[in-house]
Chains A and B, each alone.
Chain A
Amino acid sequence: MEIVIRLDTVEPPVGSVRLLAGPDLSYRGAEAAAVGFAGWLGLLRALYEVIGSRGDRPSGK
């Protein structure tokens, strides 16, 4: 995978996440949509979104 994280501010982080190459190694390049985020929580959620896996339920539940 190839993910680009662009930070406009660092703490808390604000910016966007783009998935350039997915798990299947397909290159998306300019087609990759940017997912904006704000805060560490937002960053995590953005990563889950672009990766397509977010562990809907904690395994301990």
Chain B
Amino acid sequence: MINDKNAQKIVDIIQNFARKHSIWVLAYGTGCGAIEIPPTMTSRYDAERLGVRGAATPRQADVLLVTGYLTVKTLKRVVRVYEQMQDPKYIIGFGSCTINGGMYWDSYNTIKLLDKYMPVDVYINGCMPRPESVLGGFAELEKLIAAGKGDGATE
């Protein structure tokens, strides 16, 4: 709607600033990595300082946190959940299982490389990552959003 290049840039800056500091994570623990989410959100490693909040349904969420391994069954549901989210949306691959299969590298039932199925923006390494790593991952995501990159669907 806005034709002026500079006006578009200003709008983008404001929007990215807001998106950066208000990240709503879908409360969906897909694997055993989800156990590190409660400590991150609660008092000791407060993630709400960064504006990170839990969202109840995919319609309200920005970030899908794929925590850990995905079985084939769960993959089907996670893809559907991802499709139900609204743009702009991001995926954070949480734990080693999303990077190279992690602990279940030779299982018949899990998928090994998340990147082959869904466009991942940020990976957080570890099995399970400590809350400080999780906060670092969110900070990484914030940098991506501020730079205007990471709109995962385009990748």
Chain A bound to chain B: no
Residue ranges of B at the interface with A (Cβ–Cβ < 8 Å): none
Residue ranges of A at the interface with B (Cβ–Cβ < 8 Å): none
